Amino acid sequence: MELINTIYEMKQWSKERQNNSIAFVPTMGFLHIGHVTLLEHAKKIADKSVLSIYVNPSQFRPGEDLDKYPRDMEGDLKKAKNAGTDCVFIPDSNEIYPENYQTWIEVMELQKGLCGDSRPGHFKGVATIVCKLFNIVRPDFAIFGEKDFQQLAIIRQMVADLNMDIKIIGHPTIREENGLAFSSRNAYLTEKQRFDIAPNIYKTLLQALNIIKNGEKQAVNVENFIIKGLSVFKEFKIDYIFIGNKFTLKKTDIIDNNTIIAIAVWLGNTRLIDNAQLCSE
């Protein structure tokens, strides 16, 4: 497994492998089983797999967790190696955002609503770094988790709008046995929060899917069902519940097969997101 720190070397690495297909998994590190599964998938679909580890400052707002975002480079490299990763790109912020940096990507409609409302500017940072990484790594495939559902939709749109020759692959969310989606931010949770409380987010989403399958079609009723279900746990503070179209990210009143339920909740100082779809793609 090769470790690369500079943009020049990363570009060279990919150029030298022009005759190979490359699958790319961008991450912010502190790898967990979800990330590892994406890396294993990358290995399966392409000749070469590339992981990037970069905690991108431009997607954090002042006061968010940029400084305390969990990091474990040694552990990450072990996990990447075990997953058969060919190359790990660990860029430096001075090179990614040099002085006088001034170009930004915004996916104007899809960045609105959901996490875009709670974290203004977040998706501008995400789209920009992903675009830059795509230009540096030049992958044929890029794999993103469905847990970050709005992010996936934004990247798909960006790739289509900017005519990038990259196939974007959405991977289903990998979960703990109790249903909690793996997330680097789970490291912030206490044992009680992680094992007793947080799993109720997905449990409640599944119950919501169940009432839909049993005939409930009114989004407002499903939303109220979720609010009621979560209100049992006083520790939760709901940031948003979104019930809407999974392609347009517009809210719907009447639920159909293209509906997704996406949710963000605060558990103490930790913000957790998750989602559940009526029909998986």
Among positions 128, 173, 270, 275, the unique one binding ligand AMP when judged by CB under 6 A: 173
Pick the closer one to ligand AMP by CB: 13 or 30: 30
Between 38 and 222, whose beta carbon lies closer to ligand AMP?
Answer: 38
* Integer Cα distance of 145 and 152 in angstroms: 7
Kindly tell me which of 183 and 204 has the beta carbon lying closer to ligand AMP. 183
List the one residue from 144, 225, 236, 242 that touches ligand AMP (CB under 6 A).
Answer: 144
CA-CA-CA-CA torsion sign (103, 18, 156, 162)? positive
Q: Does 89 bind ligand AMP (CB under 6 A)?
A: no
Tell me: does residue 34 bind ligand AMP (CB under 6 A): yes
Residue number with CB closer to ligand AMP (28 or 153): 28
SS (H, E, C) the chain: CEEECCHHHHHHHHHHCCCCCEEEEEECCCCCHHHHHHHHHHHHHCCEEEEEECCCHHHCCCCCCCCCCCCCHHHHHHHHHHCCCCEEECCCHHHHCCCCCCCCCCCCCCCCCHHHHHCCCHHHHHHHHHHHHHHHHCCCEEEEECCCHHHHHHHHHHHHHCCCCCEEEEECCCECCCCCECCHHHHHCCHHHHHHHCHHHHHHHHHHHHHHHCCCCEHHHHHHHHHHHHHCCCCEEEEEEEEEECCCCCECCECCCCEEEEEEEEECCEEEEEEEECCCC
In the complex with ligand AMP, which residue's Cβ is closer, 206 or 211? Answer: 206
**φ and ψ of 62, to 5 deg:** -55, 135
Contacting residue, 86, 148, 223, 274, with ligand AMP by CB under 6 A:
148
x/- track of binding to ligand AMP for residues 36-55 (CB under 6 A): --x-----------------
In degrees, rounded to 5, the angle at the alpha carbon of residue 77 between the alpha carbons of residues 47 and 7 is: 65
Q: Is 156 in the site for ligand AMP (CB under 6 A)?
A: no
Site string for ligand AMP, 198-237 (x = CB under 6 A): ----------------------------------------
Q: CB under 6 A: which stretch of 131-139, 180-188, 193-201, 257-265 binds ligand AMP?
A: 180-188
According to the binding rule CB under 6 A, does residue 35 interact with ligand AMP? yes
Binding residue for ligand AMP, selected from 52, 157, 183, 275, defined by CB under 6 A = 183
Interaction of residue 147 with ligand AMP, rule CB under 6 A: yes
**Residue 35 annotated to the active site:** yes
* Distance in Å, CB of 160 to ligand AMP, minimum: 18
Judged by CB under 6 A, does residue 186 bind ligand AMP? Answer: no
Residue nearest ligand AMP (C-beta atom): 145
Among 91, 116, 139, 145, binds ligand AMP (CB under 6 A): 145
- Residue 218 forms beta bridges with which residues? 254
User: Among the options 32, 35, 41, 122, which is catalytic?
Assistant: 35
Token pair belonging to 157: 């749109």
List residues binding ligand AMP (CB under 6 A): 27-28, 34-35, 38, 144-145, 147-148, 171, 173-174, 181-184
